[in-house]
Structure 1
Amino acid sequence: MANPKPRRGLAVVTSIIALVAAGGLSYLAAEAATDFLGNRSEAEVSEALHLGGYDFANVEADGLIVRLSGTAPDEVQRFRAKSQAENVIGADRVVDNMQVATRASIGTPTFEVELLRNDQGISVVGLVPASLDRNAMVTTLQGVTTESKVSDLVETADYPEPEGWDAAFDFGLEAAQLAKRAKISIEPGKVSIRAITDSDAEKAALEAALHRAKPKNVTLQAEITAPRPVITPFTLRFVKDEHGARFDACSADSEAGLKRIVDVGVKAGIPGQPPCRLGLGAPTSHWSEAAVPAIEAVAAMGAGSVTISNTDIALYAPASVNADVFNEAVGRLDGALSPLFKLTTRHEKKAGEQDEPARFSAILDRSGVTLRGAVTDERMRNAVDSLARSRFSKVDNALSVDDSMPSGWTMRMIAAMEALAALESGVVHVTPDLIRLEGISGNQSASDLLAARLSQRLGAGAHYELSVRYDRRLDPLVKIPGGVECVDGLNAAMHESEIGFEPSKSVIAGDPQPTLERLATIMAECGDYRLEVGGHTDSQGSEDLNAELSRTRALAVLDAMKEHGIDITNMVAKGYGESRPIAGNDTEEGREANRRIEFTLLSDEPLTKEEVAPATNVSGVTDSVEATEARTAQATAAAATGALPVALGDDAPKADQPTASDAIDPDAPPVTVTDPVVLEKLIEALTVPALEAAFPDNSEGVMGPEGQSETDGAATTKE
């Protein structure tokens, strides 16, 4: 049996070697970790000191210990550098080996103090003279913030107090008592304050208090702000009642918006400068763009209220507000609002009063057309607006949206506008039971023609009343010249056969009779217009002489026209001398051109109008059921495919063309357009440029060629 001892000894040796190796490795690992932590600490402290401006400090890691060396310019800088390093890695790992420059090299230190006040308390940091009573300072500040602590972190230096230090320090302590959230920097003769207040009023009060407390020999630099509060919900409420106009609540999202809201509030009747808060939390940047027309809507009604809460707008009108006024205000407000806002309205009714029937009105004059009333939805309002703009020069659209409008309402509105467009001026009112149209036309058969147009647009069963006056001046067949045509004719006559004058005199030379005959013919139709006979000369002679000569020559022409039997009641003479040349005065031809008599129109409107014929009153009910049903079916099919409704646009069947009833099976069931999408396409089709061909005005179609009536079977009764 072999002896096991040698093998056992080998195992022991191997174990010892392994333990030593492990211990060595652990030591190396620990040393490496220490070096890593030391290097990282050195880097972090170096970066912090550099950012703080303490580049005089040298940083060296010794394991986990960081040693600071170098020469600080003063004790304050040394202390701050040391504190900065301790904030990074902890005070127990910082060894301060820094030196301070000798007193002879740095002189008197700079005394500075910062007071930081917030809801947690007051901290005092900096360098103060050794003579300062620090206990008194803490006691003073502790009385300001009794529920929080005062942290005294100042350093002292045994140097004389510099000039202006005491006054500045005392003022800084008083400022800390006045400002609840502030940073107050104190140095000899100067105090800088950065503070935050809760409102503009508090800001103004703090600024006033600081300026009252400031000593004369101390400079104050103050930066005080009042951050806008967050307003939830963002609300505005404007009321106008028997007590006057006022804001019950007012919020604005910008300085510009605040000014617009306040200005429109004052314009609406709020006395003085109404209060309005500027804050954060507006649901959209279009807040003031909604608030302004909302206030204007109440002002237009004369009484009521509007409340805006975030994007919800509620408009209320008492029973004293007329329904038409209310509807117009609603229409204008609804049209002015961004799609982000939701408008709800309520019009209080008088006791026992029934809801008024749906109404639409359009007024046509020289300035354009005004639309009032309601449509079923926003799409229909846009479609009606587009149609109106294709027919009239200018549109004032105050249509509101009301989904309770009766069936076929939009088509009645369109028919009414089409009829109104055939007049020179007028007004049309539409209710579910009646279309009433009044106006002036230059067509003697306008009433019959409009009745036919309504029949074609609406089909059978629509009640109407027409009251149209005939104005001869508007009749294209009579061809009475307008004011511009009158002046052009008179000037053309003078140009072709000019009335001449003796040199430097206002005596007419030659025979003026041929020219006067032409002027008389023109003035026979133009005597109602205000006209000026202007005399002009060349530049030869003095200005005063030329002015008088031109005036007397104009009077001579006017007298000659009067003697010839021309009515000059509405004419005046004026001399312009050489002030308005039409050619150069350096040639004989130019001077001759400048010596002239010129007629000018003073007013587009005639002074005395011809007596307008009495209105032709027509009432009745539209008929032609078959033709109407055929047109509706054909228009529906065309609208569904995006095509122009030709059948609807053909005003009257021509003798050599098939009628709508020929194209559509007369035995087919009636077709009614109820789908809003199809109806919208139909209305949009009416607004395309091709509409002028499909819906002619007065030249052909429903008005008939050369003004002849095509009644299309309309049942009418003349009153």
Structure 2
Amino acid sequence: MRIIPVILSALAFAAAGVGAYFAAGLTVSWIENSSATAVEKRLALEGFDWASVQTDGLKVVLEGEAASEALRFKALAAAGQIVEAARVIDNFTITDSRPPVAPKFSVEILRNDKSISLIGLVPTKADNANFKDRVARIAGDLPVADFLETADYPVPDAWSSVISYGLLALERLERSKISIGETQVEIEAIGESEAQKSKLLEELTRRAPADITSKIDISAPRPVITPFTLRFRITADGASFDACSADSPEAAVQILAAAKAAGLAEEAICRQGLGVPSPLWSKAATQAIAALAKLGGGSVTLSDADVTLTAPAGTDPTLFDTITSRLDGDLPEVFALNPILLVAPETPEDDAAIPEMVATLSPEGQVQIRGPVISPRAQRTLQTFAYAVFGSEDVYLSTKLQDNLPEGWMVRSLASLAGLSKLNSGIATVSPNAIDITGLTGRRSAKTDIAQILIDRLGDGAEFELEVTYLEELDPLARMLNGAECVAEITDLASQNKIKFEPGSATLDGDSRDTVQAIAEVFERCLEAPIEIGGHTDSQGREEMNLNLSKGRAEAVLTALRGARVKLKSLTAEGYGETQPIADNGTEEGREANRRIEFSLVTPATLEAPETQSETSDTATAEETSNE
């Protein structure tokens, strides 16, 4: 009897389980249908009618072809507003037919004294191997860190020009950052001096290809000026600077403006450098110049923080005291004023008793020194100093002993010789009341340098007159040859001399060594420029043999020039064999002309297309003979 209740209970549980199963299925189906319907409505409302909705249990599967990645994400976001994002399954495909956007190609080259680094993205189809080879040649012994990546997209139209121009800048600038874009090159570099900065800026600007834009910023390290000096004079002939130093372009403008207001008519330059004693240097200088202008004559000298205002004899003492007192109160705290009112010297009864030393420097470097010294010891000191400054073979002394010389005579004489040594030619005259130095120079800073020497050795109150004239033809930098001028001069030399080799070899014969030495002397006057030594042969013999022989002969000339201490870093050698004839190989005269050495100025165009070099570069040719 007990088995019947057990069976009934089991049936009841089974019926309940079956009912629950069907109820759960109906619930899941309702949830699936309602989720799919709600998502479909949302997608249709937002315009995504290309998307279809499927359900897999509680998961909502989105399918369809999205026109872009952006539309795909928008559709997913719309579905995520209806159901939980974890329940959304993304089965979309992208049918964006737009071509991929090419990346921006660029190269950044960093160069310092220790290495060269290449960073950037370059086209796969560009001549990257040649680019890296040229960087390696420029680097020489420096390591090259290559971080370049490639992308297989079309090469930009101006890529060859920007790469060539960037490499030209890399050759010239030993400390630089060169940023190469698809159509522009930006150059930041440090030059060794203002003169080099100007030369490099002029050359890089002139040689920029027409199809690119360039931005060039070359800075030069400012020198340390010791002492930091300014000397301004007002005389009957007008106002002028003997020396002018400034710590910034703004300070130089302020000082020059004050000088013009005080009567300066000629062009003047304030040398900028480090070592200023106070940030208020320009304020002190302009105040001192303005005070001198109120006096109407004399000189003002600033040596570091010492200010010396000297008024000529005959100046109204009351006016002098008023102006100097006001200046003393106005000067910045760190500066100290030393006012000097000169007194007219007494004229001796015997004019012949006035001592005078005169030193003359000829353009050839010969120095003659005439005048009195106080003792034999002073005479030996003067001689030793002159020998040290000018050389013992170039000095002639004609001195006499005189025991009534003014105090400090020897120091003034030595200082004048030191100043004279800064000129190419000139005269230094030492008298009891002043030092006069006149002459010619090829250095723009010579006048300032002489003033600093005299002030440093004689003190701020030293009286001296400087009449120093700068001549460009005496300036060694101005007389240097640029690349085209260098090759042109070698052309003239090569037209009168021949570079010859021993038959069938790359060995220079004895006479040609003199020719190479003469060419080396021309290179000593050349600015840095990419110049190639090209070897050429006639068509006799095998082509490979001719190519190797021409290469060997070009390298032999390069080796000989290096042995003659030619310092150009971008001088290279290349062999072209018989590929670039300039005459008919069918005649002996033509073959003789084709056997030659050429010196060529390499331009950006020839760097990319060496096979057309003879047509696009300035060329100097020296004929060579051989028995090929």
Please, what TM-score do these two structures have when normalized by structure 2? 0.35
The structure that has the greater radius of gyration is 1
Please, what TM-score do these two structures have when normalized by structure 1? 0.31
